[in-house]
Amino acid sequence: MVVNIGQLTEPKGTSLEALSGKIVAIDAYNTLYQFLSIIRRPDGTPLQDSAGRITSHLSGLIYRSTHLMEKEVKQIFVFDGKPQELKAAVIKARSDRRADAKRRWEEAKALHLDPDLIFKYAQASALIDETIVEDAKALLTYLGIPYVQAKEEGEAQAAYMVQKGDAELVASQDYDSLLFGAPVMIRNISAPRRKAQLELVAFTELAEKHGITREELVDIAILIGTDFNSGIKGIGVKRALKLIKKHHTIERLLNESAIEIAQIENYKLIRSIFLQPAVNESYEIAWGTPDEDKVKEFLCEEHNFSEERVSKILRKIEKIEQKKIAVTGSQKKIEQWL
C-alpha cells in the first residue's frame, strides 16, 4: 500500500546535489524491497552467489550508498522492528500474494509466456528475510554507514529522528512518515540517470494546501485505509478529505453523518499508532571510515561479486575519503589562522 495519501501532496522537484551535506534517514525495508524486486536477471531470477543466496540487495546497496557518499549525502538506515499486531492481516495478505506470484512465476516460465509477465511475477514474489536484513546490515557496517533499529515501524522511527534533529529528512517511496510526523520527506532517491525525479514533500505545504492538521490527515488515512485497517468501502482520498474538512474528526463524522461506527474498526488505536508511535529513543549514530578489506572480503569472497567491479567501487570510496581528509585538513589550517 501503504497509505494512499500521495494525491494530497505537492511534491517539489529536487536533486541529489541539493541534498549535499544533509542527513537522510532512509527507510531500509523500502529500499531493500526495491532492490530485491527490481535487480534481477531477464527471467526474473534474483542475483545470487555460488551458494544460491540472494545478492540483489547487496548490489543495489553498495552502488547506491557509494553514489550518495560521493554526493556527500549522510545516510542513516532505519530498519523496522516488530510489527504492530493490527498489521497481521496485511502481513498475511502480502505473504499470500507473494506465494501466489511465485507459483505464477514458475508456471509462466514453464509455459514460456511473455517475458515481461514472467518478470512481473518474479518481482511480486520478492521477500525480505532475516538473512537479507543481516547481510544488508553487515555491508552498511563495513561501509561505515550507521543504521538504527526501530522499535516498531521504521517510518515512525525515521520521523522521530527528524523531529529530534538527528536527521533532516526521511527517504522512502511511501508517505507514511508524514503521518508519523516527519516534517520533510523525499521520494525517488536514485541516480540521476533514472528518469524518476527526486521529489521533496514538506508536511506544512500539504497542510496549508488543504487546510488540515496532522491529526486530520491521520483521520483521512484511516478512512481510506492503512496497514492497520481496510478503510471504508467507497471512500477514497477525495471523499475522505472532504468529510474530514467538514467534520474534523472521525468522532464527529460518525455523529453527524450516516457512516456506521462498525465500519471504522479500532480507529482510536490506529490514530495513536500514528500520532504517538512507539520509537526507540536510545540509538546511536556515528559515521565511520569504510573498511575496504571487509567490504572486499564480504562481497568477493563470501558472495562472489566480481573482484574487478568491487575494486572499482573501492577506488571510488578511497577518492571520497581522500576528499574528506583534504577538507578537514584545510579546515584545520583555517582554524590555525583564527
Partner DNA sequence: TTTGCACG
Partner DNA sequence: CGTGCAAAA
Min separation Cβ 59 and DNA, Å:
5
Shortest distance (Å) from residue 35 CB to DNA: 6
Binding-residue total with DNA (CB under 7 A): 22
Interaction of residue 322 with DNA, rule CB under 7 A: no
Provide the b/e sequence for 45-76 (b: ≥16 CB within 10 Å): ebbeeeeebbbbbbbbbbbbbbbbbebbbbbb
Determine, following the binding rule CB under 7 A, whether residue 59 of this chain makes contact with DNA: yes
Q: Does residue 29 interact with DNA by CB under 7 A?
A: no
**Closest distance of CB 73 from DNA, Å:** 11
- Nearby residues of 120 by Cβ (< 8 Å), 6 or more positions away: none
Q: By CB under 7 A, is residue 190 in contact with DNA?
A: yes
CA-nearest of 173, 171, 153 to 162 is: 171
Q: What is the dihedral of CA 150, 155, 157, 161, to 10 degrees?
A: 140
Which of 32, 64, 73, 167: binder of DNA (CB under 7 A)? 64
Give the shortest CB-55-to-DNA separation in angstroms. 8
Cβ closest to DNA, residue 39 vs residue 148: 39
Cell for 259?
Answer: 457512516
The Cα–Cα gap between 219 and 202 comes to: 19
Among 39, 182, 186, 232, which residue interacts with DNA (rule: CB under 7 A)?
A: 39
Which positions ≥6 away from 127 have C-beta within 8 Å?
Answer: 36, 98
Cα pseudo-dihedral 133, 138, 142, 144, rounded to 10 = 50
41 near DNA, rule: CB under 7 A: yes
Query: Minimal distance in Å, beta carbon 36 to DNA?
Result: 10
Bridge-based pairing state of the strands 198-202 and 184-187: antiparallel
| Residue 67 in the binding site for DNA (CB under 7 A) | yes
Chain residues binding DNA by CB under 7 A are: 34-35, 38-41, 47, 59-60, 63-64, 66-67, 190-191, 193-194, 196, 305-306, 309, 312
